[in-house]
Amino acid sequence: MSKKVFVGMSGGVDSSLTAALLVEQGYDVTGVYMKNWSKDLPGFPCPWKEDYQDAKRVAVKLGIPFEMWDFEDEYFERVVQYMLDGFKAGITPNPDIMCNQEIKFKLFYELAREKGADFIATGHYARVSNSETESGFKADLNPLSDEITDTGRLLQAADSNKDQTYFLYRVRNDALAHTLFPLGDMTKPEVREEAKKRGLITADKKESMGICFVGKVGIREFLTQYVDKKYLIPGDIIDQNGAVIGRHDGAIFYTIGQRHGLDVGGGLPLYVTGKNMKKNEVYVTSNLQDDNLWSEHISLTHTHWINSPPEPGKEYQVRTRHRAPLMACSFTSVDGEKARVTLKEKLRALTPGQSAVFYDSDICIGGGVIV
């Protein structure tokens, strides 16, 4: 009897090919469109209907059942509100990471399992080690009960440029034990070429840009619609010497290390080094070597370790934003949901609210939110 797989189909080429490959491999595949967001914003119609129709057309071509699961209320509560609260607090949250944690690999995963799925699958560029992908895979012992537990491990994609494990580090290992990533060994050009060979209508579809759930809308336009006007009041831009050199249109819009969009004419390039939400001030420097721009330590909160916590003193690699180069580091402390890390080299523009994700060779061990 074929193993049952529910595939998250977003209407893009990656998830379309994922479904096609699994059908060819003999799985009993059901396509699912997750309806997470459907609201239009001024000048930016939400593309969800087009995406849904594209996913449905692919499912029809593949001859597989297709469903739409409505997670819109949960999405706003768990992802959008998290993002809004973060920006209002003066940090830069990552909604894509929270979407994976709360929606795709929690709500979607749990409902799929309730409906009899052996596995879920998505079009992420990542690899997973579990009983389905590794013939010699062995589950871990539960340290509390000595019983075998459902455990999966997250590995980097073969294509380092497309690797998406940064966004997946908060996925639980029991979900990974029942997850397939068919694109983990492929490059984007290969995915498009294979989709063309199969006549999938999404083969040449452009990737969505902007906020993960709004399509073409940028973060500034989105926040303008969803935060109180008190966060959109102009304030002072202050340089490293304490001088007011310009005005901003809301401190909520600015991120540590940001260079563009300051609208301060003339002189040397300026970089954001900090901000004070209560005073509505943004701090900048024209000195690229300013100590406020560089860090040799990372303090973390809300840590999540996929299989087991890191060992203090052991060398790991860390990535502090998607596609940022990996840097050598070691943990000086791991205490509950908090941790402190020492970097081998100083790092520029460490951004509170973003995530630091850690690797032991190819294995993504987890990470935490930068304080």
Residue ranges covered by each domain of the chain: 4-197, 229-285, 293-370
Which residues does 196 contact at the CB level (< 8 Å), separation at least 6? Answer: 203, 204
- pLDDT tens digits, residue range 208-244? 766 666 666 788 889 999 999 999 999 999 999 999 9
Which 3 state secondary structure label does DSSP give 257?
Answer: coil
- pLDDT for 148: 39
| 99 labelled catalytic | yes
User: DSSP character for 286?
Assistant: S
* CATH no., domain 4-197: 3.40.50.620
Rounded mean pLDDT of 79-90?
Answer: 97
- 259 vs 218: CA distance, rounded Å: 17
- Mean per-residue pLDDT, 260-278: 85
Say which residue, 146 or 44, is predicted with more confidence: 44
Active-site entry in 46, 212, 329, 364: 212
pLDDT (tens digit per residue) in 137-167: 554 544 343 443 568 999 999 999 999 999 9
pLDDT of residue 306: 97
The pTM score is 0.93
Which pair of structure tokens corresponds to residue 43? 């000048």
Fold of 229-285: SH3 type barrels. (2.30.30)
Transcribe 291-354 into DSSP letters. Answer: GGGEEEEEEEEEEEESSSPPPTTSEEEEESSTTPPPEEEEEEEEETTEEEEEEEEEEE---TTS
46 has catalytic annotation: no
Q: What is the mean pLDDT of residues 315-335?
A: 97
Amino acid 205: pLDDT: 95
Mean pLDDT, the chain, whole residue set: 93
CATH superfamily of 293-370: Translation factors (2.40.30.10)
Residue 218 has what pLDDT? Answer: 80
Give the model confidence (pLDDT) of 188-211 as tens digits: 999 999 999 999 999 999 987 666
Residue the block writes with tokens 């087009």: 50
* Residue 268 pLDDT class (50, 70, 90 cuts): confident
User: Residue 146 has what pLDDT?
Assistant: 41
Burial code of 14-41, b = ≥16 C-beta within 10 A, e = fewer? Answer: bbbbbbbbbbeeebbbbbbbbbbbeeeb
- pLDDT at position 259 is 87
